[in-house]
Amino acid sequence: MKIAIGSDHAGLKLKELIKKSFEEYDFIDVGTHTEESCDYPDYAEAACMKVIEGEAEKGIVICGTGIGISVAANKVKGIRAALCFNEFMAEMSRKHNNANVLALGARVIGDDLALRIVDRWFNSEFEGGRHQRRVDKIGKIEEK
């Protein structure tokens, strides 16, 4: 599975840890590649466009708190980015919301928890059914 992944400077170390810890996935790293201060919207957009254009099946975006990068990611039409702070949120974001992008806050969760969140997110599938109706409604809001 191809995963687009991007972070600002605050998320760089966690991004590299995720890539190393999940070597079975093919990561498309859209940056950043240094700890020099940079702007998270640039990396949110780059990762999300890989998902929208079909180059990646899912995406992961990371900044200090996860808030800014998740807000930016959700501005990309067709993206359903979920900011998750625990494994349950990650699972439900896939099962009920069909989230196609996971947002993480590198400064607010530890590395071990972050890896468990990513693992749960990767291993949870959309349930469809009544949840599809709700996801469709989100798409209709996006069209306005």
Contacts of 65 (CB under 8 A, 6+ apart): 105, 107, 108
7 φψ region: left (φ > 0), alpha (ψ -120 to 50), beta (else): beta
Is-catalytic flag, 33?
no
Is-catalytic flag, 63?
yes
Catalytic residue selected from 38, 48, 63, 84: 63
d(CA 9, CA 28): 17
Helix pair angle (12-21, 111-122), 10° resolution: 50
Active site residue ranges: 63, 96
